[in-house]
Structure 1
């Protein structure tokens, strides 16, 4: 679990917050997706969330749903997603990669096999949005035993009675979903988010990263000022879908990173 913990330790030493970016593996195709993946660290990304394409992404908004469909149409699978991680690790052994997706593809492959392959490929953490804490024995506990962080989501509806259960086996960091609803929702207001971040931080020593709805350097900076970092997903995926030069996409990512790092 060293990469995620080491990244946050380094950022604390530098007095900076964490910028976490999301892309869908294989969107719009494997070659372009891998080129973007490899370019993210130089664009200022501290931790990469790599989406695992799935046919029924119930928590995702239309932007990420469409990205998953493009990836699946191009033949992207769990195996080829892990292959992307391996290819990335040939050039970068420092930037953490967190796979984000749903349990069905993992279950279909077999938990033990998947975890062994993910660890070997260089995966550092998992976010599996459809496995609640009551199902920790399914994947969370085995992942932790394998040395892969299991990152949990907290939301505005995670009350004080529920929060301890959510945090019980969480590791790496806590992902606070700032807005109730699907990905790509409205821009969060830092003044609304700050009390929730403080409430979570009072219950855990883990970093709290805030995502959903961040689209520009200003909103990224505002969130970074009240949390340990910010996640941008749908806005990056949307830019990628426009089909412009990858250099322009990475310049946009750099602007977001600069916003977070100045927060």
Structure 2
């Protein structure tokens, strides 16, 4: 079992869902990013979903695009992200860590080198945002070779055949997208068929389901769990807190702590 498997077992025993925050590594810089991640974990994050700064993030709306630009403008690269991941894992040996990134970040060093580095720094799962399940075999084979769980997105328009392929291939967790479009804390209009998608994924014996996109309030976490998801991912709402407090790190950390506490409290079933 990887750390995600262990986490979901523990949460089930406590009758809780998972709250998973997303941030871009090295935003706004290496040391502040580490402090941000420390704060997320200290205040209730059950796992981490982390992005690498990238010049053309496929799924990200303006808020996370800006986070990518801040980290890139500050000179941080993939190497710095792996260094930061190693630092996180050294301090937090048990927390599950998933990466959400685009295929180019894997292609450039080669999949072999990328997943080997993931193994070395203690990454548990990788979701490649721009590779659908039908075309992912070359990634999944290498990921599994190094003990990294391949994670796939279930889109709101998925048909039964797609759902079954996702369930067969995703490990660690399944990322259920709330709606079409890009990430945004403002756009909170969920698809109307999420309950049916969740039921279909569970019938197909999929990995635990984390709902993402537009999750910005505790009430939305509770609704995700009510529909049958196993937890929720929140990214843009967290990155907005970072963005509006770039000149005040203590206030940034204080606001983050309050947000995460409230979101985690909403996971009680």
**Alignment partner of 2:137: what SS?**
coil
Question: Displacement, 1:39?
Answer: 2.1
**Alignment partner of 1:116: what SS?**
helix
Which residue of 1 is the match for residue 173 of structure 2? 173
**Alignment partner of 1:99: what SS?**
strand
2:231 is aligned, of 224, 229, 232, to: 229
Which residue of 2 is the match for residue 218 of structure 1? 219
Which residue of 1 is the match for residue 115 of structure 2? 115
Question: Displacement, 1:217?
Answer: 1.1
Give the 5 Å matches for 1:196-215.
Answer: 196-215=197-216
Structure 2 CA distance for aligned equivalents of residues 223 and 164 of structure 1:
21
Which residue of 1 is the match for residue 263 of structure 2? 256
Give the CA RMSD over aligned residues.
1.6
**Alignment partner of 2:264: what SS?**
helix
Unmatched 5+ stretches in structure 1: none
Structure 1 CA distance for aligned equivalents of residues 56 and 263 of structure 2:
29
- 8 Å CA contact 2:20–2:46 kept in 1: the answer is yes
Question: Displacement, 1:167?
Answer: 2.8
**Alignment partner of 1:209: what SS?**
strand
**Alignment partner of 1:54: what SS?**
coil
Structure 2 CA distance for aligned equivalents of residues 198 and 180 of structure 1:
19
Which residue of 2 is the match for residue 154 of structure 1? 154
Moved over 6 A (4+): none
1:247 is aligned, of 251, 254, 261, to: 254
Which residue of 2 is the match for residue 101 of structure 1? 101
Question: Displacement, 1:194?
Answer: 1.8
CA displacement 1:175-216 (0-9 Å, x = unmatched): 100111111162245964222211211112411111111111
- 8 Å CA contact 1:141–1:169 kept in 2: the answer is no
Structure-2-length-normalised TM-score: 0.92
| 1:220 to 1:188, Cα distance in 2 relative to 1, 3 A | farther
Structure 2 CA distance for aligned equivalents of residues 103 and 189 of structure 1:
27
Pairs aligned (count): 262
- 8 Å CA contact 1:154–1:175 kept in 2: the answer is yes
Structure 2 CA distance for aligned equivalents of residues 112 and 162 of structure 1:
27
Question: Displacement, 1:146?
Answer: 1.1
Which residue of 2 is the match for residue 19 of structure 1? 19
CA displacement 1:30-57 (0-9 Å, x = unmatched): 1111111122222111110011111111
**Alignment partner of 2:91: what SS?**
coil
Structure 2 CA distance for aligned equivalents of residues 113 and 189 of structure 1:
37
